[in-house]
Homo-oligomer: A and B are copies of this chain.
C-alpha cells in the first residue's frame, strides 16, 4: 500500500499518524496486525504511488478544480480496471469526472470522522459509475470491516451530512430561540438518544418503542413529525454571526482551545472501547 501527498512535511508525518491510529485500536484489544504499518510505503511522486494500484482513494481539499485536475491525471496514470475513489463529502462526482474515458470506474467512497473508529462509509455512484464497480467497493469495504451504505443520488450533503445537518439545524434553531442552551442540547443526545444510537439506528430505535413496531409507533406518534414538517418557516440561513459567537463562547467556556487535542484522544479511547464492546457482545450472541 502506498501513500502520497504533494506536501513533503505531510508525507513525513504520515506513518506517525497511522501509528497513532493503530495505537488507539491496540490499546483496547482491537489488535491491528503487526505488519500493517510496515506494508505502507510513502511514495514521493503521484505516478509512483499509483502505478500498480488496483484501488486509489483521493482525499485532497474540497476544491472542484483540484479534484478535476487530479482525476484527469489519475485516469491516465492508474492501470485500467483499478477503481478511482474520492473521499469528497460535498462535491458530486459527476462534476469532476464527466470528461474522463475511465469515468465508469470513478465512485465516491466517503468516510466519517474519525475514520479508523467509524465503520460507516457512504458510497455515492455517479450516473455513469459501473454497477460492477459499486459491487466491488461493497465487497472491499465489507472485507475491511467497514459498513458501506449506498446513496443512490448525488444530492447536496449526500445522506450522512444531510442527516447530521438536519439534527444540527434544529439544535441551532432551538438555541437561537432561547429554548435550550448548547450544553443541554448536546446532553439530550450524549446522555440520551446517543446511548441508543450506538447500537440501533433511529428507525430501529422507534421500532422497539411500540408493541406493533414502527408502523404502530408512527400511527400513534407520527403526527408529531408531520406537525413539525408542516410548520411554516421562511427558508433562510441559520448560522448568524451572533449565533456562531454564542456557540463559540459556550463551547470554549467548557473546553479551552488548547484542550481540543486531548479531548480528541479522550473521544478516540471511548470510541475504540465501544467498538471493542460491540464486537465482544456480538461474538457472545
A residues with a Cβ closer than 8 A to B are: 90, 112-113, 117-120, 122, 147, 149-153, 155-157, 159-172, 174, 177-204, 206-209, 211-215, 218-219, 222, 224-233, 235-239, 244-245, 247-248, 251-252, 254-255, 257, 260, 263-264, 266-267, 269-271, 273-275, 277-278, 281, 285
Q: Which residues of B contact A192 (CB under 8 A)?
A: 112, 118-120, 147, 160
> CA A203 – CA B171 in complex, angstroms?
9
Contact B190 A200 (CB under 8 A): yes
Count of chain copies: 2
Shortest Cβ distance from A238 into B: residue: B229
Contact A198 B202 (CB under 8 A): no
Contact B152 A180 (CB under 8 A): yes
Q: Which residues of B contact A274 (CB under 8 A)?
A: 195, 198-199, 274, 277
> CA A144 – CA B252 in complex, angstroms?
29
Contact B152 A163 (CB under 8 A): no
Contact A202 B164 (CB under 8 A): yes
- Residue A149 contacts which of B180, B193, B233 (CB distance < 8 angstroms)? B180
Q: Which residues of B contact A159 (CB under 8 A)?
A: 174, 179-180, 184-185, 188
Q: Nearest 8 CB-CB pairs, A to B? A: A186-B201, A194-B197, A166-B170, A120-B192, A149-B184, A198-B198, A215-B248, A226-B237
- Residue A203 contacts which of B122, B147, B185 (CB distance < 8 angstroms)? B185
> CA A263 – CA B117 in complex, angstroms?
25
Shortest Cβ distance from A122 into B: residue: B188
Contact A247 B180 (CB under 8 A): no
Nearest Cβ in chain B — how far from A177, in angstroms?
Answer: 7
> CA A236 – CA B159 in complex, angstroms?
21
- Residue A231 contacts which of B180, B209, B235 (CB distance < 8 angstroms)? B235
Q: Which residues of B contact A200 (CB under 8 A)?
A: 186, 190, 267
Contact A195 B228 (CB under 8 A): no
Q: Which of A167, A178, A192, A238 has the most CB of B within 10 A?
A: A192
With A186-B200, A213-B248, A214-B244 given, name 12 new contacts (CB 8 A).
Answer: A152-B179, A157-B227, A159-B188, A165-B224, A169-B228, A186-B201, A197-B197, A199-B270, A203-B247, A214-B248, A269-B281, A273-B277
